[in-house]
């Protein structure tokens, strides 16, 4: 026991059987005065668990350590001079415990040595990766989670869709019906069926290239002399040569005074002449022009020589105004400038040159006793309901290419259509530019100077190869 009292003891924390570690080479030496001899550089394999500085602290605490050492059992009695190879199982167990507690009291790790914890983490990672690979690998003996093709999914198993969910893929044909959840959307108004008696809110303008097919073209045009005059006066009104009007009205002298309401022939169809629009409305001409017909549903307020157009334009306009009259108890539509007899520049217009343009008056709210005539329109005198009826009539024909209406009046018509549910917002975007910027493609466009009349342009009729549009 005297030898045991002389060896250093390192305290590793709580006192226990395995907390006493023999320091290699701790035999006392006479030359050192009984102090333990410390090796300069112990082998890495035999690196002590304690810190080298603990030797000095251990030497100064000998008395306390010797007292504790007396209480140790015989397993602690080891010969400090024995080699590590002679240590018994208990010594190995003590060294293992020392290595586990090394993080709390061990010196810095020797270079090149991998901690046991790192090996444990690496092993656990490899084990986890192996398990995941085995789980992901398809196994023929394991039943598939997919539903067999012969078994249709049940509606009860399907998750409920949120109120505003996107429509799901259609179920198989043999699946039981699943009630569809429909939520309100931005186009809900357009998607709902139109109630009986309500107009179609998605009614759009028609464009029919064959609009002139089957039209009955005029064979003769007559003019009514309202207050009297002569054939010469009539010829000058239409810019017809004198010999032409005499040929059209044989037996009537050029200077004979005509009674009021006398009807004079101003045009007859010549099968050798083709009535055709040539070029663009703003840079074109008219061949085989026909003057506008008098008739129901209209009041012609233009100078007669400005009322020429192609035969198809005049015929279609005549049909549409007859239909307007057939609605019953309607205000006649004012008919303004169209084109001159041979087309070309028509003051004050930049268009009206090729026989496809016509100015029509807006239906008006007239004061009692007021005369129907051209006037600037506004929210007070514009009959929005009748104006929409006229626009529907023109658009449904399939013959109209575009219409010009002042932007301020477009706003009035736009707001009226929404308030009366005549059209949806989506449909109105096809009908007119407003509220979008001027220049947006639409059936009704803004052009300055159209507050007292609307401008209607008919499409090129089939067979008129020289007719051009923008």
Residue located via tokens 């306009």: 317
- Is the model more confident about 135 or about 112? 135
Rounded distance between C-alpha atoms, residue 314 and residue 337, angstroms: 12
pLDDT at 138: 46
Q: Is the pLDDT of residue 183 over 90?
A: no
Q: Distances from the Cα of 403 to the Cαs of 121, 212, 407, in angstroms?
A: 80, 19, 12
Task: Kindly report, as residue ranges, where domains of CATH 3.30.1380.10 are found in the chain.
Answer: 274-458
User: Would you put residue 10 in left (φ > 0), alpha (ψ -120 to 50) or beta?
Assistant: beta
Model confidence, pTM: 0.59
Rounded distance between C-alpha atoms, residue 203 and residue 389, angstroms: 12
Among candidate residues 464, 157, 159, the one with its CA nearest the CA of residue 168: 159
Condensed to tens digits (0 to 9), the pLDDT of residues 147-174 reads 333 333 343 444 443 444 444 444 444 4
Among candidate residues 286, 292, 316, 317, the one with its CA nearest the CA of residue 223: 292
Mean pLDDT throughout 181-201?
45
Mean pLDDT throughout 223-230?
94
Q: Is the pLDDT of residue 79 over 90?
A: no
Rounded distance between C-alpha atoms, residue 442 and residue 439, angstroms: 8
Q: Is the pLDDT of residue 348 over 80?
A: yes
Q: Is the pLDDT of residue 289 over 90?
A: yes
- Is the model more confident about 377 or about 12? 377
CB 349 within 8 A of CB 457: no
pLDDT at 112: 52
CB 431 within 8 A of CB 444: yes
Rounded distance between C-alpha atoms, residue 340 and residue 304, angstroms: 9
Rounded distance between C-alpha atoms, residue 399 and residue 360, angstroms: 16
pLDDT at 319: 98
In CATH, which of 1.10.150.20, 2.40.30.10, 3.40.50.2300, 3.30.1380.10 is domain 274-458?
Answer: 3.30.1380.10
- Is the model more confident about 113 or about 429? 429
pLDDT at 73: 45
In DSSP notation, 4-72 reads HHTS-----SS--GGG--PPTT--B-GGGTTPBPPPSS--GGG--SS-TTHHHHHHHTHHHHHHHHHTS
pLDDT band at 118 (very low <50, low <70, confident <90, very high): confident
Query: Which of 110-119, 136-145, 276-285 bottoms out in mean pLDDT, i.e. has the lowest?
Result: 136-145
Rounded distance between C-alpha atoms, residue 285 and residue 308, angstroms: 11
pLDDT band at 332 (very low <50, low <70, confident <90, very high): very high
Mean pLDDT throughout 437-460?
96
- Name 261's Cβ contacts closer than 8 Å, sequence gap at least 6: 224, 225, 226
Mean pLDDT throughout 98-122?
56
pLDDT at 136: 55
Kindly state the tokens that stand for 213: 């097919």
pLDDT at 202: 87
Mean pLDDT throughout 47-63?
44
Q: What is the mean pLDDT of the chain?
A: 75
| DSSP element (H, E) containing 299 | strand 298-300
| DSSP element (H, E) containing 357 | strand 357-360
Query: Which of 138-147, 306-315, 416-425 bottoms out in mean pLDDT, i.e. has the lowest?
Result: 138-147
């Amino acid at each position: 026991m005297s030898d045991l009292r002389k060896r250093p003891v390192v305290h590793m924390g709580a006192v226990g059987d395995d907390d006493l570690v023999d320091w290699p080479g701790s035999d006392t030496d006479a030359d050192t005065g009984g102090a333990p001899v410390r090796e300069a550089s112990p082998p890495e394999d035999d690196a002590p668990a304690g810190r080298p500085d603990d030797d000095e602290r251990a030497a100064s605490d000998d008395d306390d350590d010797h007292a504790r050492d007396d209480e140790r059992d015989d397993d602690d009695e080891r010969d400090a001079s024995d080699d590590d190879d002679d240590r018994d199982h208990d010594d190995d167990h003590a060294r293992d415990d020392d290595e586990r507690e090394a993080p709390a009291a061990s010196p810095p790790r020797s270079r090149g040595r991998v901690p046991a914890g790192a090996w444990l983490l690496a092993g656990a990672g490899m084990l986890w990766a192996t398990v995941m690979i085995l789980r992901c690998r398809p196994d023929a003996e394991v039943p598939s989670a997919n539903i067999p093709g012969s078994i249709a999914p049940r509606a009860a198993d399907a998750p409920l869709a949120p109120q505003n969910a996107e429509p799901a893929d259609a179920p198989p044909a043999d699946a039981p019906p699943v009630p569809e959840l429909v939520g309100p959307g931005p186009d809900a108004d357009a998607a709902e069926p139109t109630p009986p008696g309500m107009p179609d809110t998605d009614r759009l303008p028609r464009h029919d290239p064959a609009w002139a097919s089957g039209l009955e073209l005029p064979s003769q045009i007559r003019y009514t002399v309202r207050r009297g005059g002569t054939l010469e006066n009539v010829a000058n009104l239409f810019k017809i040569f004198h010999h032409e009007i005499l040929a059209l009205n044989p037996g009537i002298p050029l200077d004979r005074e005509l009674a009021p309401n006398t009807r004079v022939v101003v045009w007859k169809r010549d099968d050798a002449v083709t009535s055709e629009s040539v070029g663009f409305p703003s840079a074109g001409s008219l061949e085989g022009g026909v003057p506008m017909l008098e008739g129901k549903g209209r009041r012609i307020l233009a100078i007669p020589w400005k009322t020429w157009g192609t035969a198809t334009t005049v015929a279609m306009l005549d049909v549409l105004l007859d239909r307007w009259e057939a609605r019953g108890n309607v205000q006649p539509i004012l008919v303004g400038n169209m084109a001159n007899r041979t087309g070309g520049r028509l003051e004050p217009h930049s268009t009206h040159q090729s026989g496809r343009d016509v100015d029509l008056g807006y239906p008006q709210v007239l004061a009692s006793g007021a005369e129907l005539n051209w006037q600037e329109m506004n929210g007070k005198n514009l009959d929005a309901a009748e104006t929409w009826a006229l626009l529907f009539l023109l658009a449904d024909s399939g013959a109209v290419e575009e219409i010009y209406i002042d932007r301020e009046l477009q706003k009035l018509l736009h707001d009226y259509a929404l308030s009366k549910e005549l059209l949806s917002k989506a449909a109105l975007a096809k009908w007119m530019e407003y509220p979008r910027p001027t220049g947006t493609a639409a059936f009704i466009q803004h052009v300055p100077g159209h507050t007292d009349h609307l401008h209607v342009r008919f499409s090129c009729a089939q067979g008129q190869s020289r007719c051009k549009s923008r």
